Structure 1
């Protein structure tokens, strides 16, 4: 059937996208691990959060709670918000006032101490941020009907506000990191695509015209769909295993007759044919950069459609959702 053959073509192309995206993911995780991208991006985010106060940044990273997150002398790639808040408060706020222990860390006392900190202790910009957080804490306590003079209540609320401030900033940091990874993934996908001549247009044409080739590739895709893959965690051994598996799959695909590589007939078109070739390569690189989880999920769905002969049933909707339509 025409519909069945189109599904098989889609499964074949998706499997190739999945194979390529797996090795790209493994490669970018290895690069991120070797270059310490996560730790460096976190440090840049904290630097921005602390208003580029180098002294405060140094004290924070050398605080015992943060030092405990180091691994073999390497800077942490993740700091819990509570750890950050406690460390920052510990650095900025005095621990104890022997002459007035009940008011040693009340909100008024903290605001007064922070306001009097000199520029060599804390930058003007960071001081202003902390004072804003303290004013917000006071407003929160008043709105909640809580006693702003009660030390424990004030400190807990201030810590919560610092945690919220930190988490909001870390969301932006996560965005920075994802954009870096997306650019790297596309670059790697484009590199592998061009080196191996993984042309979506050419592959689709070959699968559409050859039922035997199509059936063989679908069989490989279905078997691959049931096996596990080396984790993409930046580990050199796992990355090596991923490259070994990818090399094996490419050799198997070439043996079947899938048009991969630059040594096959028609791999180097003439004239305007290069426009189609470039389009095919860009389509492959763009698709592979979407990531292995995306294509693994899509492959599962297409294999399910082919196996059952119908699309998977939609998730039942709740009565509330039904009434909206």
Structure 2
């Protein structure tokens, strides 16, 4: 079962990674993090995150923010602190540009030292004249002024220490952004996991019954799971936090790429060929009863309510298991393999 969950999680993660690259989600999350450092809190939205209208409004706002930084209007360039900070030469040079020199993509991460320098140059006009405290007091919005004033006092009036404090402030904010992105990824994997479970009929309850009752199927799945390089398996999930300069690095980048999705789909089809109940049975979905009817049951027999509930529970459990991520299930496979065999492979002796 861990191997099946790994394949579904791998396929789900690859789809989310493809969507994140297509929508430039890493750069958008970074912009949201920097924006939160520079503007006042605008309060909480009244709608739930899963509301279709809320999702649509959030996507439009995210894209508008991205475009305002990538190709700002004259008014935005003059009024927006975020646009002016991101237009600093140190940060602007990290954008991707086309052959004609026009910018096409914003960066997905920024070094903390460059961001600190950009903040000082744009918001305070540099550190040379020693009037840092006065300029901080005149900043708008007040929340930004209070933040910088606290960092200035912590630095005890030392410009170099102030730059270091700004770097730490940015790094701490990027750790929060990393959490935002991981939560978005988890939610996306659950949604994609539901779609994959439905599309391939990856019913955990039915699969568990087949593995328990059919030794041939169980052995075939065990042999497939024993392959240490199946689908370019990712390394076990790291316990270290993501780098502060890469706010959204994480499990999405551990996936082997678009080839992993195709490989996972192919392995699921191979397991179906050896007898694992993956995929919808003949007659489904034209005959809804055939979709949940237990194997070996007469086609004329109507499924009971428990059959429908078991099918729904099996699909839901698959989607929830996929949310743990492919690295988690890969690590589980490694641990189970160590228990089944003769223990872990000893490390090579140091010379």
TM-score, normalised on structure 1? Answer: 0.76
Q: Which residue of 2 aligns with 1:162?
A: 166
Distance 2:159 2:213 in 1: 71
**Larger Rg over CA atoms:** 1
Q: Which residue of 2 aligns with 1:22?
A: 10
Q: Which residue of 2 aligns with 1:183?
A: 187
1:31 lines up with 2:8 in the alignment = no
CA spacing shift, 1:290–1:116, aligned 2, 3 Å: closer
Cα deviation, residue 222, structure 1 = 0.8
Cα deviation, residue 288, structure 1 = 1.4
Q: Which residue of 2 aligns with 1:252?
A: 270
Point out the more displaced range, 276-285 or 57-66: 276-285
Distance 1:264 1:188 in 2: 24
CA contact (8 A) 1:262 1:268 kept: no
Distance 2:147 2:340 in 1: 58
Distance 1:88 1:202 in 2: 57
Q: Which residue of 2 aligns with 1:268?
A: 292
Distance 2:91 2:218 in 1: 55
Point out the more displaced range, 266-275 or 279-288: 266-275
1:105 lines up with 2:93 in the alignment = no
Please give the root-mean-square deviation of Cα atoms over the aligned residues, in Å. 2.7
Consecutive unaligned residues of structure 1, counting only runs of 5 or more, are 1-12, 97-103, 139-147, 149-153, 314-325
What per-residue deviation string (whole Å, max 9, x for no partner) do you get for residues 206-231 of structure 1?
111111111121111112x2345187
2:223 corresponds to which of 211, 219, 222: 219
Q: Which residue of 2 aligns with 1:306?
A: 340
Distance 2:159 2:282 in 1: 71
1:278 lines up with 2:312 in the alignment = yes
What per-residue deviation string (whole Å, max 9, x for no partner) do you get for residues 129-185 of structure 1?
2222212222xxxxxxxxx5xxxxx11110111112212222211111111111001
Cα deviation, residue 233, structure 1 = 6.7
Distance 1:17 1:29 in 2: 18
Cα deviation, residue 267, structure 1 = 4.0
1:15-164 pair list within 5 angstroms: 15-51=3-39, 55-72=80-97, 73=103, 74-95=105-126, 104-106=128-130, 109-116=131-138, 122-138=140-156, 148=157, 154-164=158-168
Secondary structure at the aligned position of 2:95 is classed as coil
TM-score, normalised on structure 2? Answer: 0.70
Distance 2:37 2:326 in 1: 33
